[in-house]
Amino acid sequence: MGVGLMVEIRPFEVDDIPAVAALEAANQPQPWTEGILEDELAAENRSYLIAEDEGAFGLAGVIGFAGVMVVGEEAHVTNLLVAEEDRRRGVGKVLMLGLVDAALEMGARHLTLEVRSKNEAARSFYAHFGLAPIGVRKGYYGDDDALIMWVHDIDSETYAQGLEAIR
Protein backbone atom coordinates (compact mmCIF):
# COMPACT_ATOMS: atom_id res chain seq x y z
CA MET A 1 0.00 0.00 0.00
CA GLY A 2 1.41 3.43 -0.80
CA VAL A 3 0.73 7.08 0.03
CA GLY A 4 1.55 9.33 -2.88
CA LEU A 5 4.86 8.18 -4.32
CA MET A 6 7.13 7.96 -1.33
CA VAL A 7 5.52 6.11 1.60
CA GLU A 8 5.13 2.35 1.99
CA ILE A 9 3.18 0.46 4.63
CA ARG A 10 4.69 -2.91 5.61
CA PRO A 11 4.86 -5.33 8.56
CA PHE A 12 6.91 -4.21 11.58
CA GLU A 13 9.98 -6.47 11.88
CA VAL A 14 12.26 -6.95 14.91
CA ASP A 15 15.03 -5.09 13.03
CA ASP A 16 12.80 -1.97 12.99
CA ILE A 17 12.73 -1.72 16.81
CA PRO A 18 15.62 0.81 17.21
CA ALA A 19 14.13 3.14 14.56
CA VAL A 20 10.64 2.92 16.07
CA ALA A 21 11.98 3.48 19.61
CA ALA A 22 13.77 6.61 18.31
CA LEU A 23 10.53 7.78 16.65
CA GLU A 24 8.66 7.24 19.94
CA ALA A 25 11.33 9.10 21.96
CA ALA A 26 11.21 12.07 19.58
CA ASN A 27 7.42 12.30 19.36
CA GLN A 28 5.77 10.97 22.52
CA PRO A 29 5.69 12.36 26.08
CA GLN A 30 5.75 8.80 27.53
CA PRO A 31 7.57 6.89 24.78
CA TRP A 32 7.49 3.13 24.33
CA THR A 33 10.99 1.75 24.91
CA GLU A 34 12.78 -0.93 22.90
CA GLY A 35 11.79 -3.42 25.63
CA ILE A 36 8.09 -2.62 25.32
CA LEU A 37 8.30 -2.88 21.53
CA GLU A 38 10.09 -6.26 21.79
CA ASP A 39 7.37 -7.57 24.12
CA GLU A 40 4.58 -6.32 21.83
CA LEU A 41 6.09 -7.89 18.70
CA ALA A 42 6.56 -11.20 20.51
CA ALA A 43 3.03 -11.25 21.98
CA GLU A 44 0.14 -13.30 20.58
CA ASN A 45 -2.78 -11.79 18.64
CA ARG A 46 -0.98 -8.61 17.61
CA SER A 47 -0.35 -6.99 14.26
CA TYR A 48 2.13 -4.12 13.91
CA LEU A 49 2.76 -2.03 10.79
CA ILE A 50 5.47 0.42 9.75
CA ALA A 51 5.17 3.48 7.51
CA GLU A 52 8.44 4.01 5.70
CA ASP A 53 9.43 7.03 3.66
CA GLU A 54 11.49 5.88 0.73
CA GLY A 55 13.23 9.24 0.44
CA ALA A 56 14.22 11.12 -2.68
CA PHE A 57 17.39 9.04 -3.23
CA GLY A 58 16.09 5.65 -2.10
CA LEU A 59 17.06 6.19 1.57
CA ALA A 60 14.38 4.53 3.69
CA GLY A 61 13.27 5.93 7.02
CA VAL A 62 10.56 4.95 9.49
CA ILE A 63 8.05 7.81 9.81
CA GLY A 64 5.20 6.01 11.56
CA PHE A 65 3.93 2.81 13.08
CA ALA A 66 0.73 1.34 14.46
CA GLY A 67 -0.48 -1.76 16.26
CA VAL A 68 -3.60 -3.68 17.09
CA MET A 69 -4.34 -6.46 19.59
CA VAL A 70 -7.30 -8.77 19.02
CA VAL A 71 -9.06 -10.55 21.88
CA GLY A 72 -12.11 -12.52 20.84
CA GLU A 73 -14.22 -10.24 18.65
CA GLU A 74 -12.60 -7.04 19.94
CA ALA A 75 -9.67 -5.30 18.31
CA HIS A 76 -7.82 -2.78 20.48
CA VAL A 77 -5.55 -0.20 18.84
CA THR A 78 -2.45 -0.29 21.06
CA ASN A 79 -0.49 2.55 19.43
CA LEU A 80 -0.51 4.77 16.36
CA LEU A 81 2.15 7.39 15.71
CA VAL A 82 3.26 9.50 12.76
CA ALA A 83 6.40 11.69 13.01
CA GLU A 84 5.39 15.28 13.66
CA GLU A 85 6.94 16.58 10.42
CA ASP A 86 5.05 13.98 8.35
CA ARG A 87 1.53 14.57 9.70
CA ARG A 88 -1.47 15.61 7.55
CA ARG A 89 -0.14 13.70 4.52
CA GLY A 90 -2.54 10.76 4.92
CA VAL A 91 0.08 8.47 6.52
CA GLY A 92 -2.07 7.90 9.62
CA LYS A 93 -5.04 6.94 7.46
CA VAL A 94 -3.16 4.25 5.52
CA LEU A 95 -1.70 2.86 8.76
CA MET A 96 -5.20 2.72 10.25
CA LEU A 97 -6.65 1.10 7.09
CA GLY A 98 -3.93 -1.55 7.41
CA LEU A 99 -4.78 -2.10 11.09
CA VAL A 100 -8.48 -2.58 10.33
CA ASP A 101 -7.64 -5.10 7.59
CA ALA A 102 -5.36 -6.98 10.01
CA ALA A 103 -8.02 -6.92 12.75
CA LEU A 104 -10.64 -8.34 10.38
CA GLU A 105 -8.23 -11.09 9.31
CA MET A 106 -7.79 -12.00 12.98
CA GLY A 107 -11.57 -12.31 13.38
CA ALA A 108 -12.41 -8.99 15.03
CA ARG A 109 -15.91 -7.51 14.73
CA HIS A 110 -15.51 -4.41 16.90
CA LEU A 111 -12.74 -1.84 17.28
CA THR A 112 -11.82 0.14 20.38
CA LEU A 113 -9.06 2.36 21.72
CA GLU A 114 -8.19 4.87 24.42
CA VAL A 115 -7.12 8.40 23.65
CA ARG A 116 -6.18 11.39 25.79
CA SER A 117 -9.29 13.53 26.12
CA LYS A 118 -7.25 16.64 25.20
CA ASN A 119 -5.87 15.01 22.02
CA GLU A 120 -8.17 16.79 19.56
CA ALA A 121 -6.07 15.70 16.53
CA ALA A 122 -6.45 12.00 17.31
CA ARG A 123 -10.14 12.33 18.23
CA SER A 124 -10.88 14.02 14.92
CA PHE A 125 -8.67 11.49 13.07
CA TYR A 126 -10.46 8.47 14.62
CA ALA A 127 -13.90 9.89 13.82
CA HIS A 128 -13.11 9.17 10.14
CA PHE A 129 -13.10 5.48 11.09
CA GLY A 130 -16.47 5.67 12.82
CA LEU A 131 -14.95 5.62 16.31
CA ALA A 132 -17.15 7.49 18.78
CA PRO A 133 -16.57 8.23 22.49
CA ILE A 134 -18.47 5.82 24.76
CA GLY A 135 -16.88 6.51 28.15
CA VAL A 136 -14.14 8.16 30.20
CA ARG A 137 -11.40 6.72 32.44
CA LYS A 138 -10.76 9.58 34.88
CA GLY A 139 -7.07 10.40 35.46
CA TYR A 140 -5.92 7.43 33.34
CA TYR A 141 -2.87 9.34 32.05
CA GLY A 142 -2.21 11.16 35.34
CA ASP A 143 -2.48 14.62 33.81
CA ASP A 144 -5.43 13.75 31.54
CA ASP A 145 -8.47 11.48 31.28
CA ALA A 146 -8.72 8.65 28.76
CA LEU A 147 -11.62 8.72 26.38
CA ILE A 148 -12.75 5.25 25.35
CA MET A 149 -13.70 5.19 21.67
CA TRP A 150 -15.57 2.36 19.98
CA VAL A 151 -17.00 1.26 16.65
CA HIS A 152 -19.19 -1.82 16.24
CA ASP A 153 -19.59 -4.19 13.28
CA ILE A 154 -16.39 -3.47 11.37
CA ASP A 155 -17.12 -6.71 9.48
CA SER A 156 -20.35 -5.25 8.02
CA GLU A 157 -20.92 -4.21 4.43
CA THR A 158 -21.71 -0.67 5.60
CA TYR A 159 -18.34 -0.38 7.35
CA ALA A 160 -16.54 -1.81 4.31
CA GLN A 161 -18.13 0.92 2.20
CA GLY A 162 -16.90 3.55 4.68
CA LEU A 163 -13.34 2.15 4.45
CA GLU A 164 -13.56 2.18 0.67
CA ALA A 165 -14.50 5.86 0.76
CA ILE A 166 -11.35 6.57 2.85
CA ARG A 167 -9.14 4.55 0.47
Ligand X SMILES: CC(C)(COP(=O)(O)OP(=O)(O)OC[C@H]1O[C@@H](n2cnc3c(N)ncnc32)[C@H](O)[C@@H]1OP(=O)(O)O)[C@@H](O)C(=O)NCCC(=O)NCCS
Residues that bind ligand X (CB under 6 A): 80-82, 87-93, 113, 115, 119, 121-122, 124-125, 128
Q: Which residue number, 81 or 100, has a Cβ lying nearer to ligand X? A: 81
Q: Give the residue from 51, 130, 133 showing the smallest Cα distance to 90.
A: 51
Smallest gap from Cβ 73 to ligand X, in A, equals: 21
Which amino acid, residue 114? E
Cα–Cα distances in angstroms (integers) from residue 95 to residues 1, 52, 137, in the given order: 9, 11, 26
28/156 with CB nearer ligand X: 28
Q: Which of 14, 9, 98, 100 is nearest to 62 (CA)?
A: 9
Residue 41 or residue 83: which is nearer to ligand X going by CB? 83
Q: In this complex, which beta carbon is closest to ligand X, that of residue 23 or of residue 154?
A: 23
- Of 125 and 159, nearer to ligand X (C-beta) is 125
> From the CB of 93, what's the least distance to ligand X, in Å?
4
**Smallest distance from ligand X to CB 98, Å:** 12
Q: How far is the CB of 157 from ligand X (least distance, A)?
A: 24
Could you give the angle at the alpha carbon of 101 between the alpha carbons of 109 and 40, nearest 5°?
Answer: 90
Q: How far is the CB of 67 from ligand X (least distance, A)?
A: 11
Task: Report the residue number whose CB is nearest to ligand X.
Answer: 92
Confirm if 133 and 147 have CB atoms less than 8 A apart: yes
